[in-house]
Structure formats: C-alpha cells, structure tokens
Amino acid sequence: MLVLGIETSCDETAAAVVRDGREIVSSIISSQIDLHKAYGGVVPELASREHLDKIVPVIEEALERASVELEELDGIAVTAGPGLVGSLLVGVSYAKAMAFALSKPLVGVNHIEGHIYSVVFDNPPVEYPALALVVSGGHTNLFLVPEPGKYRVVSRTRDDAAGEAFDKVAKMLGLGYPGGPVIERLAREGDSRAVRFAVPRMGDGRPDFSFSGLKTAVSKHIRESGLVPVAAGAQPAQEVKDLAASFQSVVVRSLVGTMERLAEEHRPATLIVAGGVACNGALREASREAAVRLGIPVYFPSPHLSTDNAAMIAAAGTVKLMAGERAGLDLNADVTLRLQNIEVEDEALRRSRVRYRL
C-alpha cells in the first residue's frame, strides 16, 4: 500500500511516500526556519504564504524521488490539525483537490498522532499498551495508548510547551531560533548544578507539566546575576552555558519524572518519546535510564523524524485507510483538534481538560 503524506501544520512544508505504513520510499521537508529566524519565532502569515509557494514542488519531488506515478498511490493522508489555520489549510485544500482529481481515498491525520507514529520507522513493532510522551514546540502531553488509534491524555502542560520554553529561554539569552538545538549544544559544556531550579509540581498533585514559572525563574536569574545576552557572532560566556545546562536538566527531570510516575501507575508494554524535543540527547539518555529502571523498552524516532515531517503523517494515515476510514471533501483544518477518544471518567481530569485544551 503506497500512501502520500502531506504536512503543513506549522513551519515545515513536507511530503512523503510510505509503503505499507513502515517503509519510507521518499520524504521531503522544506523548512522555513531561515524565514522566521529574524522574528525569533514563527510568523503565521509568512508561514502560510511560504506553504503556498512550496507545496507543489515539495509534493512533486516526493513523488519523483519515490519514482511513483500519481495513479499508483493507494491513498492520501494530510495533517488536519492542530496547528496554524492558514498553514493547515494549504495542505488540506491541496490534498482534497488531489484526492478529488485522482479519485483516491483521503484521510485527515491529527498532527500529534503523527508524532506518535514517527517511531514505527527504525524500531521494532510497538507493543501495546504504550505510554507516549509527545514533546514539541506546540505540545507537551503524555498519552496512554491501549491499542493503535485509541488515546487517553494522562498528562498535559498547563501553560507553555517544553519546546516553547527552550525557544523562549534561548531568545532571552540571545541564542536565536529555534532554541532547542543551541541550548542542547551549550549545555554540553555547562554545569547543570550551577543554577538550582525547582522541578515544577502541581498544587493539586496531578501529574501535569508547567514551564512558564521556570521561564520566569530563568528571566529573574538573568536579571539578578547581570548576565548579558550573547551578541550575534560572539562566543557564549561560561555562565550562559551553565544556565543552559541547568535549565535543560530541570526540563528533562520534569518530563522523565512524570513519564516514570505514570509508567509505574499504568505499566505499559512500551514507552514512546516523540516530537521535536525528542531530538534532545539529554532527554533521550534520561528516558533510556528510566526505561531500564522500569524494565520497559523505550522507542524514539530517528532525529530527522522527530521534528515535523510527512512520513509520520503517511504512517498514521495508512492505519486509518486500512481500517476503512475516509475523509470527505468537507474535511477542514481544525486548529484545536484534540487527540483523546477514550472517555475520561475522572472528574478532576475532565475539569482540567476543559480549562487546558490540548
């Protein structure tokens, strides 16, 4: 089964051809990082215009590299949400037009579900139930996945996503965008015990995340210690490296500590760590250590599949297509599309879900 995946939810225009949901035949990613760098973050209006420019050449290249003719495709899978509305609409409209013109089956894929499916490549088959930590620029959640396609949110961030915290701290330190990779690089030369930040904990005891207080603590530390942000092209001072290491260490402890606590409670057969922040070496190492303690295998996507790509969308879409799911031409972009299809009995969790939408 050959499926074309299309992903345009944020600042990457991506297309991929995937065979039988597990083999990447081609994967093309056109990143807009350079376009948004000057603004220190993604500018939605610029992103959607760039997607419009790139969608045709990116899809053509994916088909060409795969040596696949349009007629050979068995289906089209497109990210329908969550994400930026103008960006999502480019992919969704294009996918619908292709499906209509070629009379091919179409499915909409939740971007977060796509991230979870990014581990089907380069890993042994996932055993269920799985516990999946999805940690990116827009999301920080733990999902209990009892079987493929069934999700229950067991932890969420109450404010910023972890990747967003990396990006904001990097901006405060004059390190540019995106922040994750540069903070990780500097942290390798820093002392993670130099600045003591507390692991954020919820007053109500729930296993949720919060990163905005940490961001404020970093900003306060910068102000009080008189640390000067790194000027363009300058070498970062040791204090900056120490701060990067201390910040990264507390984020990793928060993520892995919560994952471990929930793994002890739910005893999954597999741990999954996915999303852009899953590129982070310190997070991988701490997750591996936790997995050894728990006696459960942990799967990560290859680094190039951790950040946004269309292969993961095609993989998730293949499972849906094989289950007979079809989207109509009324498929629409859904900015706040949620990934939870298991009813939650827990009243406190239900209330917090209303307040903190996925």
Residue numbers of the site for ligand KG4 (CB under 6 A)? 10, 136-138, 163-164, 166-167, 178-181, 184, 275-277, 279-280, 307-308
Q: Least Å distance between CB 275 and ligand KG4?
A: 5
Closest listed residue to residue 43, CA positions, set 33, 28, 53: 33
Nearer CB in complex with ligand KG4: 105/137: 137
142 touches 259 (CB < 8 A): yes
Q: Least Å distance between CB 162 and ligand KG4?
A: 7
Nearer CB in complex with ligand KG4: 98/315: 315
Contacted by 352, from ligand KG4, Zn ion, none: CB < 5 to 8 Å by type: none
Q: Least Å distance between CB 98 and ligand KG4?
A: 24
How many C-beta atoms surround the C-beta of residue 64 within 10 A?
A: 13
Two structure tokens written together for 193 = 């015990």
Total residues contacting Zn ion by CB under 5 A comes to 2
Stretch that binds Zn ion, among 17-25, 129-137, 265-273, 277-285 (CB under 5 A): 129-137
Nearer CB in complex with ligand KG4: 94/247: 247
Residues 134-163 that bind Zn ion (CB under 5 A): 136
Closest listed residue to residue 334, CA positions, set 78, 153, 161, 30: 78
Radius of gyration, CA atoms only, the chain: 20
Nearer CB in complex with ligand KG4: 7/260: 7
Contacted by 280, from Zn ion, ligand KG4, none: CB < 5 to 8 Å by type: ligand KG4
Binding of Zn ion by 8 (CB under 5 A): no
Q: Least Å distance between CB 12 and Zn ion?
A: 8
User: DSSP characters for 291-310?
Assistant: HHHHT--EE---HHHHSS-S
Nearer CB in complex with ligand KG4: 31/123: 31
Q: Least Å distance between CB 167 and ligand KG4?
A: 5
253/259 Cα distance (integer angstroms): 10
Residues 288-317 that bind Zn ion (CB under 5 A): 308
Q: Least Å distance between CB 294 and ligand KG4?
A: 23
Contacted by 184, from Zn ion, ligand KG4, none: CB < 5 to 8 Å by type: ligand KG4
Two structure tokens written together for 225 = 């210690």
84/142 Cα distance (integer angstroms): 22
Closest listed residue to residue 53, CA positions, set 35, 38, 68, 37: 35
Contacted by 313, from ligand KG4, Zn ion, none: CB < 5 to 8 Å by type: none
H helix runs in the chain, sequence order: 33-37, 44-66, 85-102, 111-117, 162-172, 179-187, 212-225, 238-266, 281-294, 303-306, 311-322, 347-355
Nearer CB in complex with Zn ion: 136/249: 136
- What letter would DSSP give residue 199? P
Binding of Zn ion by 239 (CB under 5 A): no
- Alpha-carbon dihedral sign for residues 351, 352, 355, 358: negative
Two structure tokens written together for 162 = 């972890």
Binding of Zn ion by 30 (CB under 5 A): no
Binding site for Zn ion (CB under 5 A): 136, 308
